[in-house]
Amino acid sequence: METSYSWIISVSSSSVLLFFVWRVLNWLWFRPKRLEKRLREAGFRGNPYKFLYGDFKEISTLYKQAHSKPISLADDVVSRVLPHLFGAVKKYGKTPYLWLGPKPSVLIMDPELIKEITQKIYVFQKPHLHPLFKYLVQGILRFEGDRWAKQRKLLNPAFHMEKLKLMFPAFEKCSSEMLSKWEELISSKGSIELDVWPNLQTLTSDAISRTAFGSNYAEGRKIFELQREQGEHLSQAARSVYVPGLRFLPTKRNRRMKQIAKEVDDSIREIINTRRKAIRAGETCEDDLLGLLVQSNSQEIDNNKNKDFGMTIREVIEECKLFYFAGQETTSVLLVWTMVLLGRHAEWQERAREEVLQHFGTNKPDFDGLNHLKIVNMILHEVLRLYPPLAVISRRTVEETKLGNMTLPAGVQLTLPTMLLHHDPKIWGEDVKEFKPERFAGWVSNATKGQVVFFPFGWGPRICIGQNFAMLEAKLAIAMILQRFSFELSPSYSHAPRAVITLQPQYGAEAVNPKAYPLADSQLTITILDLVQQAANYKQLKKGANEATKTLNRGMSEFVVMAADAEPLEILLHLPLLAEDKNVPYVFVPSKQALGRACGVTRPVIACSVTSNEGSQLKSQIQQLKDAIEKLMI
């Protein structure tokens, strides 16, 4: 009897072991080989499957090589950002597949197929996220089908344009704070090379903190700082082969990620509970994203008399975490690449500034006015074409599926290479690598000829819900920067875009040297210096920054002239602001030495003020020059 019992246990154990071994072998070998055969039959080409790793080792090597050094601004960025896809297309054409471990990923570059995939959201679903992603962001990203539609319905009201208009003051406040810090930094240190990347990250982080949590801004900022750290941990984890169950091991990284997740969840839950109590007490709901979300959720539950129609606290928490990723990452990368490209293309920077000053002058931009910035809009779209926030979009087949004339098996990842489509010369022309905002002078559909070849925020029903949020914030920030600064790429700038979830500058963006504005051209400089010399002869000139300041404060100044090469650069900040406050025109000339000679001294002069005199023989000349300077400022 005991022998029989032992035999049964032995057979059962062996059966379980064999079943487990079969499952592992099927996952790591037999299933990939079956999929490989089906993909080849469908017309795709790629490397033969290698046990466990697939193409992962080769992909890892390609990325290490691509990221080992910067490239020229004129080089092909695709080969650096997506070296594995670039190489696959070069080797196998536009229908390659790659092995991401035991899972195949096929490249889809046909615009009609991309349109079909992005529109049929019930058929082509989002791929399963790396399990550690749950610590960073889930929210609506993890839902499919009817569950996704329900969640999207609850979120939509928070992103309507009339609601975004209520968030506009928060965007303006954050941009003003950043620019004031730039001015203080330049004033205290003189001529500097400013890395704008961390500054822009802080700007967008502060903006999403204010717009998501309103009066709970301080708590929101702490939450998003933790989320940023979480993103760094996740990015490191995503570079290694995924092994099931590895996330449960008590490694240092796993422990820290769990700790961060708990801190974030607890903080958001406390804010949500406080808001819900306030609403129940009859208090007005705040016009921030969290307030709008809680309000929309409550209305949906009340309208249907069923709490199942709303979101749980857990789901609200996840959406708040998603706000950070979508609202901060997307806008910060759009802004940094815009500044890099405008720093390189001075002619477009000047055109954009002229448009901004034409609409707003030195006043703060307003919500409605931003919609009339056609050139700025063209520039942002061209930046999104060259440097889309997400270099690829992925979907998956959940069952055997017809796509165009092909039949794809279940379990295949579909990679829609946004960046490859945005850089395809057959679509955009042989000048595809060039920065040419005029491509978007008309509607986007005109630029794309009605094809799905431009999708920086995705496409179809699942297009990014926050795209208007990102574009509004970016337009405002760029407009305010152009009002207060002129800038150029620093010689020390290293061009090194790389995809770290979003497309970021690997070595930052030490690219911006704030410069004098408005700067007189050579002909106007001659006229200005000639009048300065005459004003000195007629005792209508005060030399030096301190004396110029006194004339402004006393209401004696007709206009102020400053040297663009002045060091330190305090005058680039203090005098223009004071002159604007006193409604006095000001202008920069290139050289402090030349300004000194015009003032009648042998030393350099960094600033001077031409003063008023009712009976002066220079009155008409001064007025003509004031008119010319004012036109330059417009």
Global pTM value: 0.81
Name the residue with tokens 């007005």.
Answer: 284
Q: Which residues pair with 195 in a beta bridge?
A: 510
Examine residue 461 and say whether the peptide bond preceding it is cis (omega within 30 degrees of 0): no
Residues 275 and 380 in one domain: yes
Residues 151 and 126 in one domain: no
Residue 493 buriedness (CB in 10 A; 0-12 / 13-18 / 19+): buried
Please report the pLDDT score of residue 245 as a whole number. Answer: 59
Distance CA 303, CA 65 (A): 57
Residue 446: φ, ψ to 5° = -70, -40
Q: At what angle do helices 467-484 and 196-213 cross, to 10 degrees?
A: 130
Residues 224 and 307 in one domain: yes
Do the domain assignments include residue 237?
yes
Residues 611 and 540 in one domain: yes
Query: Which of 80, 108, 130 is at the close of a domain?
Result: 130
| Residue 58 and residue 110 in contact, taking contact as beta carbons nearer than 8 Å | no
What is the four-CA torsion angle of 253, 254, 260, 261, rounded to 10 degrees?
150
Per-residue pLDDT tens for 119-155? 999 999 998 876 666 666 677 777 888 888 888 888 8
Question: What is the pairing mode between strands 45-46 and 96-100?
Answer: parallel
Distance CA 290, CA 267 (A): 13
Please report the pLDDT score of residue 132 as a whole number. Answer: 67
Mean pLDDT on 521-543: 93
Residues 153 and 284 in one domain: yes
What is the four-CA torsion angle of 332, 333, 336, 338, rounded to 10 degrees?
-110
pLDDT above 60 for 191: no
Query: Which of 481, 512, 543 is at the close of a domain?
Result: 512
Please report the pLDDT score of residue 573 as a whole number. Answer: 62
Do the domain assignments include residue 53?
yes
Please report the pLDDT score of residue 240 as a whole number. Answer: 61
Residues 182 and 90 in one domain: no
Name the residue range of residue 62's domain.
Answer: 2-130
Do the domain assignments include residue 122?
yes
pLDDT above 70 for 493: yes
Using 50, 70 and 90 to split pLDDT, how confident is the model at 14?
confident
Do the domain assignments include residue 424?
no
Query: Which of 470, 486, 512 is at the close of a domain?
Result: 512
Per-residue pLDDT tens for 26-55? 999 999 999 999 999 999 999 999 999 999
The total of other beta-carbon atoms located within 10 Å of residue 83's CB is 19
Residues 491 and 564 in one domain: no
Using 50, 70 and 90 to split pLDDT, how confident is the model at 268?
confident
| DSSP characters over 104-171 | EEEE---HHHHHHHHH-TTTEEPPPPPGGGGGT--GGGG--HHHHHHHHHHHGGGGSHHHHHHHHHHH
pLDDT above 80 for 307: no
Per-residue pLDDT tens for 68-127? 999 998 889 999 999 999 999 999 999 999 999 999 999 999 999 999 999 999 999 998
Distances (CA, A) of 551 to 144, 244, 324, 453, 566: 67, 74, 49, 58, 20
For residue 37, give the 3-state DSSP assignment. Answer: helix
Residues 485 and 553 in one domain: no
CATH classification of the domain holding 190: 1.10.630.10
Q: Which of 115, 140, 166 is nearest to 469 (CA)?
A: 166
What's the mean per-residue pLDDT of the chain? 87
Query: Which residues fall within 8 angstroms of residue 63, CB to CB, at 6 or more apart?
Result: 83, 84
Q: What is the number of domains present in the chain?
A: 3
Distance CA 271, CA 277 (A): 10
Q: Which of 572, 534, 537, 578 is nearest to 557 (CA)?
A: 578
pLDDT above 60 for 172: yes
Do the domain assignments include residue 418?
no
The total of other beta-carbon atoms located within 10 Å of residue 503's CB is 24
Do the domain assignments include residue 338?
yes
The total of other beta-carbon atoms located within 10 Å of residue 512's CB is 25
Do the domain assignments include residue 396?
no
Name the residue with tokens 């019930």.
Answer: 122
**Around 441, how many Cα atoms within 13 Å sit in the side-chain half-sphere?**
3
Using 50, 70 and 90 to split pLDDT, how confident is the model at 513?
low
Do the domain assignments include residue 312?
yes
Please state, for a pLDDT cut of 70, what percent of the chain lies above it.
91
Using 50, 70 and 90 to split pLDDT, how confident is the model at 511?
low
pLDDT above 70 for 418: yes
Please report the pLDDT score of residue 295 as a whole number. Answer: 79
Per-residue pLDDT tens for 201-247? 999 989 988 888 876 777 777 887 888 788 777 777 765 655 565 66
Token code pair at residue 431:
């000048």
Residues 507 and 529 in one domain: no
Please report the pLDDT score of residue 357 as a whole number. Answer: 79
Number of H helices, E strands in the chain: 26, 16
Residues 223 and 327 in one domain: yes
Mean pLDDT on 617-621: 93
Per-residue pLDDT tens for 547-602? 999 999 999 999 999 987 775 554 556 788 889 889 999 998 878 888 999 999 99
The terminus-to-terminus CA distance of the chain in angstroms comes to: 101
Distance CA 438, CA 412 (A): 39
pLDDT above 90 for 535: yes
